[in-house]
Amino acid sequence: MPDGVPLLKPRTLRDPAALVEARLVPPEAEPGLRQVAEQYAIAVTPAVQALIDPSDPADPIARQYLPDVAELTTLPAERSDPTSDAPFTPVKGVVHRYPDRALLKPLLACPVYCRFCFRREVVGPDGGLLTEAELDAALDWFAATPQVREAVLTGGDPLMLSPRRLAHIVQRLSAISHLDIIRLHSRVPVAAPERVNAALVDALQSEKALFLCVHANHAREFSPVAKAGLRLLTRGGVSLLGQSVLLRGVNNTQQDLENLFRAMLASQVKPYYLHQLDRAPGTARFEVPIAEGRQLLRQLRGRLSGLAWPTYVLDLPRGAGKAPLGPDFAHEVAEGWVVDGPLDRADYAYPDLKKTSQEAEF
C-alpha cells in the first residue's frame, strides 16, 4: 500500500450511497436504489464484496445481493408472505405447518439481504429479535407439543445470534425429550464466514442429531475462507446440508448447477433442497420456469454423483407444504414401466411381472 493512501476497513455496506462509494453500482443508479432501500433491507458483507467482479454486469454474486429498481415492481402473482408463515404461527417466533416439525425464528436479521428472499417483507437489521420472555414462550411451545420431533431454526439467520444465546437455545431444545432433530438454516458460512469460529462450533454441540443447512447458490460462494469455516464445523461434528434457490442469471445453467453441487460436496455439504423461487414481491427477474428447472436436473442426472442430487421443490401457497417437482425418470405403461436411462437418454422397458410374463429387458 503506497504512503498516504487511507486504509479502508472493510465493512458491511447497508445503503445505496455506500454501494456507489464501493463502486459496486454506478452513481446514476443511486436515486432509484434509494427507493428500493425504503422498502427492502440491504447488506453486502466484506466477504460478499470480495466475491463480486464489478467489471462483469452479469456477475452471479452481485445479482444475488445488490439491489435493483426492478424490485419496485410487484406482479399480481407475488405475495408478501408466499409461504404463509403468519396463519401457522401458534406463538410468536414459531411456525407449525407440518405435523412432526416446526420452525423457530429467534430473530429476523441476516448477514446479507438476498434480493430474492421469500421473507423480504419482514427480514431486516432491526429484525425481530425475540425478547427473553418471547423466546421462553416459543421454547415452552416446543416442550408442550410432543408430536413435533424436529425443531428448525431459521429467521432471519440464527447464526447471527451470539454463540452464548445460540448455545442457550440449542441446549433448551436438546433437553426436550420428544425432539430428535435440531436443524439450523444459515447464510453465515458463505456470506459472513468470519463468524464461524470455535465458539460457534461449541454452541452447536448437542446430544440430539443436529444439522446445519447452508444456503448457497453459486460455486464461487465457497471461497477459501468459507471452506475453512465449513471444515471447522465438520471437524466439530456438525453435519452439513445445502439448500439453494434456482435463480435466473445466477445458477440456471447445467454447468452452474453442476459446479455448485460439486463445490458443496467437496466441503462435505450434502445438497438437500433446490427451491423453486417463491413469488415474493419484486423478485420476478429471478424466476426460472419449472419446465426449465426439471430439464436442468434431468441433464445433471448421470453426470453427478447421486450424493450431489437435491430434491427440487416448490413451497405451495397457503402453507400446503413443499412439493417435489421431479424430474420423473419412470412412466407407467400398460405392461409396466418405461424408464429413461440417465447415461444414454434411451427409454428402457421394465415390465411389471404381475402384469406380464416377460422378463425385464435390462
Give me the catalytic one of 59, 85, 105, 114.
114
Among 13, 48, 61, 117, which residue interacts with ligand SF4 (rule: CB under 6 A)?
A: 117
Residue whose CB is less far from ligand SF4, 252 or 299: 252
Short-list 282, 277, 86, CA closest to 95 = 86
**Residue 153's Cα: distance from chain center in Å?**
13
Residue indicated by cell numbers 452464548: 164
Task: Mark whether 345 is an active-site residue.
Answer: no
Give me the catalytic one of 59, 63, 79, 101.
101
Task: Mark whether 81 is an active-site residue.
Answer: no
Task: Mark whether 97 is an active-site residue.
Answer: yes
Residue whose CB is less far from ligand SF4, 119 or 183: 119
Task: Mark whether 98 is an active-site residue.
Answer: yes
Among 25, 47, 110, 280, which residue interacts with ligand SF4 (rule: CB under 6 A)?
A: 110
Task: Mark whether 113 is an active-site residue.
Answer: no
Least Cβ distance, residue 324 to ligand SF4 (angstroms): 21
Of the ranges 13-21, 26-34, 154-162, 235-243, which one interacts with ligand SF4 (CB under 6 A)? 154-162
Task: Mark whether 119 is an active-site residue.
Answer: yes
Task: Mark whether 101 is an active-site residue.
Answer: yes
Q: Rounded distance, CA 184 to CA 189, Å? A: 12
Task: Mark whether 231 is an active-site residue.
Answer: no
Q: Name, in order, each residue with C-beta under 8 angstroms of 144's C-beta and a sequence gap of 6 or more.
A: none
Q: Is 85 in the site for ligand SF4 (CB under 6 A)?
A: no
Give me the catalytic one of 63, 65, 79, 97.
97
Among 95, 103, 123, 260, which residue interacts with ligand SF4 (rule: CB under 6 A)?
A: 123
Q: Is 114 in the site for ligand SF4 (CB under 6 A)?
A: yes
In the region spanning residues 198 to 227, those forming contacts with ligand SF4, defined by CB under 6 A, are 215
Q: Rounded distance, CA 184 to CA 241, Å? A: 10
Give me the torsion for CA of 238, 213, 190, 321, rounded to 10°. -170
Residue whose CB is less far from ligand SF4, 156 or 293: 156
Residue whose CB is less far from ligand SF4, 116 or 312: 116
**Residue 136: all three cell numbers together:** 421462553
Residue whose CB is less far from ligand SF4, 112 or 308: 112
Other Cβ atoms less than 10 A from the Cβ of 16: the count is 23
Of the ranges 9-17, 74-82, 108-116, 261-269, which one interacts with ligand SF4 (CB under 6 A)? 108-116
**Residue 187's Cα: distance from chain center in Å?**
7
Least Cβ distance, residue 157 to ligand SF4 (angstroms): 5
In what side-by-side order are the strands of the sheet with 330-333? 330-333, 336-340, 347-351
Secondary structure (3-state) at 329: coil
Task: Mark whether 213 is an active-site residue.
Answer: no
Q: Is 119 in the site for ligand SF4 (CB under 6 A)?
A: yes
Q: Rounded distance, CA 295 to CA 308, Å? A: 16
Secondary structure (3-state) at 94: strand
Task: Mark whether 63 is an active-site residue.
Answer: no
Other Cβ atoms less than 10 A from the Cβ of 162: the count is 11
**Residue 178: all three cell numbers together:** 420428544
C-alpha distance across the termini of the chain, in Å: 66
- Pair type for strands 311-316 and 269-275: parallel
Of the ranges 83-91, 106-114, 127-135, 262-270, which one interacts with ligand SF4 (CB under 6 A)? 106-114
CB neighbour class for 99 (10 Å; exposed up to 12, middle 13-18, buried from 19): exposed
Of the ranges 117-125, 167-175, 224-232, 339-347, which one interacts with ligand SF4 (CB under 6 A)? 117-125
**Residue 113: all three cell numbers together:** 439481504
Give me the torsion for CA of 81, 85, 87, 89, rounded to 10°. -150
Least Cβ distance, residue 180 to ligand SF4 (angstroms): 25
Q: Rounded distance, CA 268 to CA 84, Å? A: 32
Give me the catalytic one of 15, 322, 340, 348.
322
Residue whose CB is less far from ligand SF4, 215 or 279: 215
Interface ranges with ligand SF4 (CB under 6 A): 110, 113-114, 117, 119, 123, 155-157, 187, 215
Write out the catalytic residue numbers: 97-98, 101, 110, 114, 117, 119, 278, 315, 322
